[in-house]
Chains A and B, each alone.
Chain A
């Protein structure tokens, strides 16, 4: 039986991870789990640590040095997050070559490859999955990042046929929905709203999703309500801050404070780097023009 299925004992930890409740995952009591589920649970816990930025703690876990493909894949991800990209890439490629049918390897090595810009390589690895929903969700994201909404949509629709109820598929469908727009915005909103309002799935991840959907729907006051409430709860969540900046600019409100906050927490956020880039671009482009007569 699939341990992540509705009846499986890993359901809760699994859905906590995918709804972004990383702290809950780390604190999850795994002692009662059956032996064959111990490893997946441990992997989820390590991944939650990595997602929370506690890469050093994750790398310090003795288990991570074990020579199993699953744990090696986690190590690759940890290395990637820790900024040791070369080592990560090497490990990921090695794993992809040798253990391409391992679910964890597919997802985590795929993540590392995509993060390093090797989208096609990642897709090739992921294509070998057999009913691995996490792989599906990653494929969808890679397609979206490559702006291939059409392929992402196909992938989601295929997955829906055999796993309609899955949290992962629902969320992935929402990702695509937010790209497609129109009526799909509203559907995406419903999905995220549902996640954000249920205590078992509420996390910055889902709140940001809800607010983003509302921004796209043009419902700025509602988005603001969601974001400001969430910011009070999770003041250091980068995506919350980044989207709050976008919202403030849209609503004609000052955003400098949030920007400096974001700069402190994650100076490498694409919002900041792109603005910097564009600012330079502006100056360069503006320099090409001047008045005929200087006054």
Chain B
């Protein structure tokens, strides 16, 4: 007989024979009525007995929960039906009427009715609200074993030992008892004249069908929840399936298999299955459509009497001779595997699908695993191999099978897999790129197999191993009921073992450093070498877990998502309304699979655990960030911080003054404590503050608290202790004023004021003391006068021996002037971070400035420029008038067949006409030839570092056989290419880097007025572009623009540098200076930068009374637009210049003519006059400079014949 590996028992109770079972519709409760007269209420999730109800006399057979009210009903062999309230735990009332055993009792799904079946051959309907019998159905002529309401229609099914099943129509009863408001006339007539009365005159319930087919008594009957189907179980050992229409009902088929009386049968609420139990000690599952046995489960000794299904969840309960078992037919955990951003999972239809976390899309089905295992058994696990794009699926069917399947490249639908490798095992996981491990519990053996499914290695698993998991590359984790061990496959040795009991799942962190071992109620976090990091316990079942990228474990229980830090700190993130299996956390989203294998995204608030994580890591900046950006409040976080010893951080969250005060005292932050004490202003806060301040040596605060508390004695003592004589005498005055003699005495002693003391003694008539005091201090005169006042003489009194009076010591250090800190009230690093942040924000502005001369306004100017830059960053004027001519006539070096023995570097030089590729190949001579021909390069020294960099980056060193030099491999930019004729080297610093990094650095140098640096940077840009390659025509254009931009900036900066080097003491120099500043405005800089040049030129011209020039600069500035301040200045100068538009000094600058600047002489070349240009940069020169090295590039020869720079060969791509 086939036993079922899939029956998952969730709960078992031990008791006497269980005859009736009922699931609570919402709570995890089950009622069990026993043959021993007891009714038990169990929590099957926690496994605890909640309550017992013992009022029946004799066996209790029928039991049912009310669907909504806190009620249940029971019926027993004492003929009684009892209705109970489980909240008050009392029997509310008893319905009497049956004349024999009550077999079953059920509540109606909506109406306040109870249906009972009895051995007195009747079926009765009771109204539990008015506690009356409303209908008695007669017709069966033997015991009625079972009667049930139809879930939606007005029907009842009953089963009887008279071998029949009857279907009753109770619509009449409903009409009769429904609210009278809507009764039509016809209804009233019908009710008045019952025309369909049965032989007892009963029209409320009439027999609709009698189903005959069982050869013996029928024990049980159930309706299908949605279809017009009925199932019955009888003493003829048969389960019969019936179908009904409106007019008739007939037998569909019989399920044969039970070899003893069948006790009960029901339909699976969601699947096409029938479940039945019998006295043959089996639970059987049948296919509803084929009526064949799907699986069965046998108990050794106990006969089954009853079965019930949970109304919503995938749970069943069966009652037998020694108790009850709650079970599931199948696992609901969908098999899934994750690789990077992809989740692979198996749906309920057994389709393999993937889910992309980055795009949040589900793929269409990729494969159908319909043939895997048996049809009713879902696959248990799936393991994914990215290198081979293969999956390994295990199914518990047939004692465990696995299949190795390659996924199709594209998901095209649920195709049947081809080329499937399969075998016997309960677990199978990939352990390496081309290896997987399968575990067979019967042999306790792990086979390491290659992708052709042949065993390459066999490992004996530790005794008692139940499961295996991936244990990091080349390793396996063996799970036994009490231990987990880490095993190195290659060395065949156990690396570590840890005693953790009942591990069911293993979840690795994304970086592979940690792993969480999930047991039923425990999570144990271990390192990759299986050292325990922390462990935590849950009272409720733990379902799944996944790791956050930051190393926080998120796990789900039956009803919560929780987190755990590595140190074991944990907390709840959110509640769950249904069980889900977490697969991934990304930001605020948790990805999970639900029990229907649908991916779901749950929103969470990660603030709390992120905060705690940064606290643990002491990442104060992030904590600040969290505090600032999120509303992280609540008692839990405060007490957490306090518990962890971070009161100063907790302080940042609290508003409540009292808590703030407490925390401030705890962390010794007196300022806050004082502030809060003032706010609260209650004595006990002042006392506590005083004590704390005293401990800190902060006596000024202590003084204040004493004052607040009017604690004069303590104040006096404090003043004494701090040596504040002045205040002490004030205290004496106060004491006198208050008439407090003790205090006055004390103060007098503190101050050493003998007179005052004597005076006081006299005032209170303590003459003897006054005399003694005077006498002892040698104030004889005073003593005499006291004696006199008392009418005594010296010999009448006897004095004790006088010793020297105590002198009050004078304070040496004036402690009272400032505090005497005894306890460092240091700021925590967190507070420092808080303070530091405030400081950093202040000096952000004005970090760099563009200063032309030492004029004040320039600073503002620079700042405005800075703003401008940010405003219109897209407005770079690249200057597009340079057309470096493309020379396509270059003679392509014949690419010879890749001959044996030539290195790849040699091929590169053959494959490409580009100089950069020749450089990478190490063929510097040919590279130079090419550059010379293309752009007239003659002076190569500035390119040396570029050449060597390219060469350095061209190959890697792979160590191979020890004793031999490393294998050299050449790095390609054509990564995909394997054709030797098309391989090309990688060139570092591509155009994108030049544009995004180098060029921006140059602009920054311009902005911050570091012109020498700027020239160097832009020249470097030119050199980098000169020896480079690009990948498209568009990039060629971009390269040309970069060259032009660099040229203009180098020219402009050189002009300005030249001007600054000039002293303006001679008139010629002044003229030259004015000219250069005017030329500075000519190069095509980015607008914001050109405004700088114009501003400088305008000011210089204005200062030297060249109003006409200044005016033209101002006009140009105004035409360019930009920031208001800049334009204001231009407007002002324009207004002034317009009054007298004359130039004091005549300069060689015609603002209306078109001209270029000669980059060597820095003089204008007016259009039409002869000039030569540089073949690489396109810079213009006066003809006399022809043949010399370009001042802009430092490499190329001015006016040299050149074919133009080549960076790109279309055929290469």
Contact = CB atoms under 8 A, between A and B. Distances in A.
Given A150-B900, A291-B1188, A209 B958 contact: yes
A181 B970 CA distance: 10
A147 interface: yes
Central interface residue in B387, B960, B971, B1189, by most chain A CB within 10 Å = B960
Interface stretch (B67-75, B147-155, B922-930): B922-930
Contact of B962 (A47, A181, A197, A242): A47
7 contacts: A138-B961, A144-B960, A246-B955, A270-B968, A291-B938, A291-B939, A294-B1188
B900 A147 contact: yes
A80 B474 contact: no
A50 B962 contact: yes
B953 A250 contact: yes
B988 A111 contact: no
B940 A285 contact: yes
B905 to A, nearest CB: 10
Given A115-B964, A175-B967, A201 B474 contact: yes
A198 B475 contact: yes
Contact of A293 (B969, B983, B1188): B1188
Contacts of A200: 474, 488, 490-491
B92 interface: no
A249 B988 contact: yes
A282 B924 contact: yes
Given A198-B473, A208-B959, A290-B939, A216 B972 contact: yes
Given A212-B969, A246-B971, A239 B988 contact: no
A1 interface: no
A179 B488 CA distance: 31
Contact of B956 (A186, A205, A216, A252): A216
A187 B387 contact: yes
Interface stretch (A32-40, A63-71, A95-103, A271-279): A271-279
A258 B977 CA distance: 31
A193 B473 CA distance: 9
B808 interface: no
Interface residues of A, number: 86
Interface string A136-174: 011001001111101000000000000011000000000
Contacts of A30: none
B922 A289 contact: no
Contacts of A108: 963
B963 A50 contact: yes
Contact of A291 (B952, B955, B962, B1197): B1197
B901 interface: yes
A274 B967 CA distance: 15
Contacts of B965: 115, 145, 270
Contacts of B529: 199
Interface stretch (B99-107, B288-296, B942-950, B1054-1062): B942-950
Contact of B450 (A164, A215, A217, A291): A164
A288 B1200 CA distance: 16
B433 interface: yes
B957 interface: yes
Contacts of A255: 952
B472 A289 contact: no
Contacts of B1160: 295
Contacts of A243: 956-957
Top 8 A-B residue pairs of the complex, sorted by shortest distance between their CB atoms? A198-B474, A292-B1187, A286-B940, A293-B1187, A51-B962, A295-B1188, A182-B978, A197-B473
Contacts of A6: 456-457
B1124 to A, nearest CB: 40
A52 to B, nearest CB: 9
B997 interface: yes
Nearest to B936: A291
Interface string B1130-1171: 000000000000000000000000000000100000000000
Contacts of A145: 964-965, 967
Interface in A230-274: 239, 242-243, 245-246, 249-252, 255, 270-271, 274
Contact of B940 (A194, A279, A282): A282
Given A175-B960, A239-B959, A281-B925, 11 more contacts: A12-B493, A77-B963, A111-B963, A185-B975, A199-B529, A201-B490, A218-B986, A249-B949, A251-B988, A274-B951, A290-B938
B1186 interface: yes
Nearest to B986: A250
A112 B971 CA distance: 28
A180 B962 CA distance: 22
A184 interface: yes
Given A15-B490, A199-B472, A290-B938, A278 B951 contact: yes
B1185 interface: yes
A242 B924 contact: no
Contacts of B993: 252
B606 interface: no
B978 A180 contact: yes
Interface in B910-930: 922, 924-925, 928
A275 B963 contact: no
B797 interface: no
B391 to A, nearest CB: 17
B512 interface: yes
Contacts of B944: 279, 282-283, 286
Contacts of A250: 953, 971, 986, 988
A200 B472 CA distance: 11
B955 to A, nearest CB: 7
Given A6-B456, A181-B972, A282-B924, A215 B1187 contact: no
Contact of A199 (B492, B495, B938, B1188): B495
Contacts of A125: none
Interface in B471-506: 472-475, 488, 490-493, 495
Interface in B178-207: none
B956 A51 contact: no
B937 A289 contact: yes
Given A137-B961, A292-B1187, A148 B901 contact: yes
A291 B1189 contact: yes
A85 interface: no
Contacts of B948: 275, 278-279, 282
Given A111-B964, A246-B955, A275-B952, A190 B971 contact: no
B847 interface: no
A191 interface: yes
Nearest to A150: B900
Nearest to A283: B944
Contacts of A146: 901
